[in-house]
Amino acid sequence: MATLSAEARRQLTLAACIVGSSVAFIDATVVFVALPTIESDLDLGLTGQQWIVLSYSLALAALYLPAGAVGDRYGRRGAFIAGAVGFAVASAVAGAAPDGAYLIAARALQGVAGAFLTTNSLALIRGVYGADSGRAIGLWTSFTSVATIAGPPAGGALVEFVSWRWIFFINLPLAAVTVVLAQLGRCEERAAIRVGRLDLPGAALAAVGFGTLTYGLVEGAERGFSDLWWAFAIAVPALVGFIVVEQRLAEPMLPLRLFRERNFAVANAETFLVYGALYGQLVFFQLFLQFLGFSPFEASLLSVPPSAIMILLAARFGALADRHGPRLYLTAGPFVVGVAILLMLLISERDDFWVAGTASLILFALGLAMLVAPITSTALKSAPAEYAGIASGVNSMVSRLGNLLAVAVIGVVITLVFDSQVAAESAVPLAKDQQGEALRAASLDAFRAGMILAAALAFAGAAVALAISDSEARAEGAAVPTPAES
């Protein structure tokens, strides 16, 4: 076999990063489409459906920065390959899960592996291509965007016509391809930064704090908050301890001094609020569509046009924000998203969707396109150059925490509103093929209450954006925004 050239090896590495990242991105979105079918098969209830999403997000949020640090210190390619192998193993466990507990545990393992896979993907491309990484990252963005659009319909078809288990099993051959490409593409890389020590105390305290807080919120709505007092009693001191540790360490996981930069603090505060609204809409709107009578495949197809609109317009709005300053777009974008979410309140049955639902999805995509590039770019440009990588990791972690807590809190609201109107303990809010006028009316009220909260988060993000300084943003120079990772 002929020896591969250096350029061929770089291209193989790029292909590995594209396939590996696409696997993680697609898996995150396809699960939303599959939730009602999984709930029906495994009898999970709304709480169980939330945990299928939250266990993955919690693991990612806790390990995002440590996974990147491991790659920097011990080798990005090795960390990337380990992530791909781990993701395959966890996917096999998820696909074979006999009950909800196994599936939720497997989703958490997917999150652990996904943290190593996604965080080291772009870092590996930068390490291999060095100063020429711009075009490679552009190709990575293009191909992963196509995969993100095509993934939900493919997954919806698997759920409807084969089995929900195959949305996990399909990851195995894709992960194998990723590993083979990454091994064949071994080549000279720019040296990783091997300084400092891993912030294991910070990572542990963050995982315990956010994990127990999420557990208390989600399970409290189902079992009663008074019975879960211990979760909050653990969460509060753990989160306080996390802040104390991060202030005292020389090289913390979350450098709090970065938040002294005005635009950095404001952009991340907005990220927390707005990405919470976005994830709350994405998760519960998929449940709502199938509650209305759409099949999994039909519901997945409805995500394609908004995704295409967002991808086509995001770069344009990013360029406009660089030219004129980001405040207008970071204010208008979340406001439009909030209006789009409120339009969902007009939907009571399937026939209503084609007017109010279509308008909602178009506005949602437009608002998302207005903010996704400027919000990341502002967060990155506002940090000192030597902290660019850390700033990117912090912004991604903050978005994950927003997702995590918003889905938990919106789920609490939906559960409480539904339970206040329904006496049957076995009834599930927004259940697929739900029968009975009283149950459906309670589900509608519960969904509307949850979406009002999601819209409020979006409007709060718009209000926070008013504190952005356009003059500071323009003075900080241009930066290439990193696409949000799933």
Q: Is the pLDDT of residue 250 over 60?
A: yes
pLDDT confidence tier of residue 291, bands split at 50, 70 and 90: very high
Residue 451 near residue 443 (C-beta atoms within 8 A): no
∠216-214-373 over CA atoms, to 5°? 160
Q: Is the model's pLDDT at 484 over the cut of 60?
A: no
Cα angle value 99/45/346 (rounded, 5°) = 140
Rounded-to-integer distance, Cα 105 and Cα 90, Å: 9
Residue pLDDT, tens place only, 171-228: 999 999 999 999 998 877 665 444 445 677 877 888 888 888 888 887 877 777 888 8
- Regarding the domain with residue range 258-486, which homologous superfamily does it belong to in the CATH classification? MFS general substrate transporter like domains (1.20.1250.20)
In this predicted structure, the answer to whether residue 320 has a pLDDT above a threshold of 90 is no
CATH number of 1-186: 1.20.1250.20
Q: What is the reported pLDDT for 389?
A: 59
pLDDT at 255 exceeding the cut of 80 = no
**Alpha-carbon gap, residue 114 to 125, rounded angstroms:** 17
Q: What is the mean pLDDT of residues 462-475?
A: 83
Task: Return d(Cα 423, Cα 382) in angstroms, integer.
Answer: 52
Q: Which residue has the tokens 């095509």?
A: 150
Q: How far, in Å, CA of 58 to CA of 229, rounded?
A: 20
Query: pLDDT class for 475, splitting at 50, 70, 90?
Result: low
Written as one letter, the residue type at 149 is I
Encoded tokens for 333: 């974008």
Percent with pLDDT over 90 in the chain: 35
pLDDT tens by residue, 394-413: 777 788 888 888 988 999 99
Which helix (H) or strand (E) element contains residue 396? helix 388-421
Distance separating alpha carbons of residues 45 and 36, to the nearest angstrom: 9
> Residue 485: what pLDDT?
41
Mean pLDDT in the chain? 84
Residue recorded with tokens 């406001």 = 335
- Report the pLDDT value the prediction gives residue 162, as an integer from 0 to 100: 92
pLDDT at 329: 92
Residue type, 57: S
Closest CA to 278 of 252, 310, 301, 313: 310
pLDDT value for 332: 95
pLDDT in tens, 442-456: 999 999 999 999 999
Task: Please tell me if the domain spanning 1-186 has the same topology as the one spanning 258-486.
Answer: yes
Q: What is the pLDDT of residue 138?
A: 63
pLDDT at 481 over 50: no
Is the pLDDT at 57 greater than 60? The verdict is: yes
Query: Domain-by-domain residue ranges, the chain?
Result: 1-186, 200-252, 258-486
Distance CA 320, CA 290 (A): 38
Find the mean pLDDT for residues 46-70.
83
**How many CA atoms lie within 13 Å of 282's alpha carbon, on the beta-carbon side?**
23
Mean of pLDDT values over 269-291: 91
Residue 252 — pLDDT band, cuts 50, 70, 90? confident
Give the tens place of pLDDT for each residue, 122-174: 778 877 876 666 677 667 766 777 777 777 888 889 999 999 999 999 999 99
